[in-house]
A and B are shown apart, each in its own frame.
Chain A
Amino acid sequence: MEKIVDARGLNCPQPVILTKRAMDENDGSYKITTIVNQKVALENVSKLAVSQGYEYEVEEKGGDFYIHMYKMTTASVESKEKKEIAILIKSRLFGEGEEELGQILMKSFLYTLMEMKGDIKHIIFMNSGVFLACEGSPVLEHLKVMEEEGVNILSCGTCLDYYQMKDKLKVGSVTNMYTAVEILTSAHKSLTL
């Protein structure tokens, strides 16, 4: 059985609200598919799915996004929670020392993360780390690949404002300290660079 929520053409927050209502009625026995035609709606419905314990797949057809959501069983939720890894990146350079080496190492680190796939669930950029998610970053493509594979890429809003880079953010979304701390403390493992 499948419940379809056609939210094409609806502005935020309606795609999320309609999907949430379908989830509230779902005892977990059927799949919910929400159709949207805006990227921001796709991102928000995907976030809702994760927050409500659903696994999701996105299918793009003729400019529309079909988000297929399945309620996870307790066992799969537990195993997923066990594996979740969050990474906090506080600088655009990897480690201290020569700037050029720091850039090379950071590029190599993010490339390796991209290739590893799997358990990385969140990457949070703080302070000058936000430059890595902005226009001109040498690792933008790596981050975009990871985002497409379901990694939650977040950049600190205060930091983007401070560096006047908010309009140059090219991957992921803006977050705040509250959300960042919540993610870092609830992940199974967290790593700080």
Chain B
Amino acid sequence: MIEKEMLVVDVIDKYPETEKVFRSYEEKVGSCIMCSHLFNTLEAVSKDYNFDLEELIRKLEKAALKEEEE
């Protein structure tokens, strides 16, 4: 459903609930990911911030699925 090649902006546009997931990562790193990396892929963001890419995608998919159920 969510691929590592997807851009942050496209993920949030398609699944607005995922904004909360990015927000939680922003709190961890103390930087506005959605300001500076909005047009980067999930893979690139993970590399830049040393995030676990699989975990990030898992969390995003969970949020997206929750949204679809509602």
CB pair A179 B44 closer than 8 Å: yes
Among residues of A, the one whose C-beta sits closest to the C-beta of B47 is: A176
CB pair A16 B9 closer than 8 Å: yes
A21 to B36, CA, bound (A): 20
Which residues of chain A come closer than 8 Å to B35, judged between CB atoms? 12, 40, 44
CB pair B39 A13 closer than 8 Å: no
The 0/1 profile, CB within 8 Å of A marked 1, for residues 7-48 of chain B is: 011001100100100000000000010111011110110011
CB pair B44 A178 closer than 8 Å: yes
How many chain A residues sit at the interface, stated as a range, is 10 to 19
CB pair B40 A40 closer than 8 Å: no
The 0/1 profile, CB within 8 Å of A marked 1, for residues 39-61 of chain B is: 11101100110000000000000
| Set B13, B16, B32, B40: member contacting A179, Cβ < 8 A | B40
Among residues of B, the one whose C-beta sits closest to the C-beta of A41 is: B35
Among residues of B, the one whose C-beta sits closest to the C-beta of A175 is: B40
On B, residues with C-beta under 8 Å from A are 8-9, 12-13, 16, 19, 32, 34-36, 38-41, 43-44, 47-48
Known: A40-B35, A176-B48, A179-B44. 19 other contacts (CB 8 A): A12-B32, A12-B35, A12-B38, A13-B9, A13-B12, A13-B38, A16-B38, A17-B9, A17-B13, A44-B35, A44-B39, A47-B38, A48-B39, A51-B39, A174-B36, A176-B44, A178-B43, A178-B44, A179-B39
On A, residues with C-beta under 8 Å from B are 12-13, 16-17, 20-21, 40, 44, 47-48, 51, 157, 173-174, 176, 178-179
A sample of 23 inter-chain contacts (CB < 8 A) reads: A12-B35, A12-B38, A13-B8, A13-B12, A13-B38, A16-B9, A16-B38, A17-B13, A20-B9, A21-B13, A40-B36, A44-B35, A44-B39, A47-B38, A47-B39, A48-B39, A174-B36, A176-B44, A178-B41, A178-B43, A178-B47, A179-B40, A179-B44
